[in-house]
Amino acid sequence: MFPIILARIRIPVIIIGFLLAIGEVVHRVSWLSVVGLVLFLSGFASIFLRTGSVERRPIPVASPVQGRWLAVNSPADKVPSHGLHAYGQTYAVDLVNWPDENTEWKAVVRAPVMSRPETFPGFGRPIYAPAAGTVVRARDFWRDHLSRNSWPALVYAMAEGFARELAGPSGVLGNHVILDLGDGVYAAFAHLKRGSVLVRKGERVEAGQLIGQCGNSGNSSEPHLHFQLMDNAHPSIAAGLPFAFEETLPDGTTRQSVPSKERPLLSPSR
């Protein structure tokens, strides 16, 4: 219960604390500015604390992709997977399409400084609904920018990321879809390709239905799918929920797993 409460109040506390601190400092330093600074720092620190993780059994869902995908920033390797709880991404996973098993994928390259998204194998790959649900949010207007996977580009991306934060969750997620899977569980798909989102708010989708394509919009270093489950439709106040991809084996039994850096996601063709 504590992680959920923390998720609900974290952003409001940060905003209120910041406004109190700045407002009072501009006029005079007083006890109110000190309170504001304490609130701001406390709220900001809570983004990184391990205590912000919801502890429960993983929720089984089908893979939202097909083919061979590398799991980057996976909850199978660490929690929170991205180093922070913000935007309900405690258990989020970044999936990079990398079909060539004989070539090593590198998070950072020396050259080129930036590349067009079309040069990456994952760009335009189909994204599917991992379970039946109702669309509660669909955004499809952010551009697919050049890659940010070289050292110079990553420095630029840090400044760019701050500007995206000012636009709220949408600026960070880029083109995205959020599905209500029922029972207080919501699935988010981020960094989708502009013009590829095929669903709209209020639409009912079935498991395995095509909802969009992998892109490079929002706070993304290269084309990939950012997938997560959360307990609220609004990422700003959502707590991340653990998941496991469920696969039906030839003998009819099911297997659940979470891909990691050492264990790529191998999803059969649909």
Q: Which residues pair with 228 in a beta bridge?
A: 188
Run of H or E including 177 = strand 175-182
CA angle, 77 then 184 then 244, to 5° = 30
pTM of the model: 0.89
DSSP 122: T
Give yes or no for a contact between 226 and 173, defined as CB atoms under 8 angstroms apart. yes
- In the sheet where 254-257 sits, what is the strand order? 59-61, 243-248, 254-257
Q: What does the pLDDT profile of the chain (270 residues) look like in tens digits?
A: 777 887 887 878 778 887 877 776 666 667 677 777 777 777 767 777 666 789 899 999 999 999 999 999 999 999 999 998 989 999 999 999 999 998 999 999 988 999 999 999 999 999 999 999 999 999 999 999 999 999 888 888 887 877 887 778 899 999 999 999 999 999 999 999 999 999 999 999 999 999 999 999 999 999 999 999 999 999 999 999 999 999 876 777 788 899 999 899 987 755
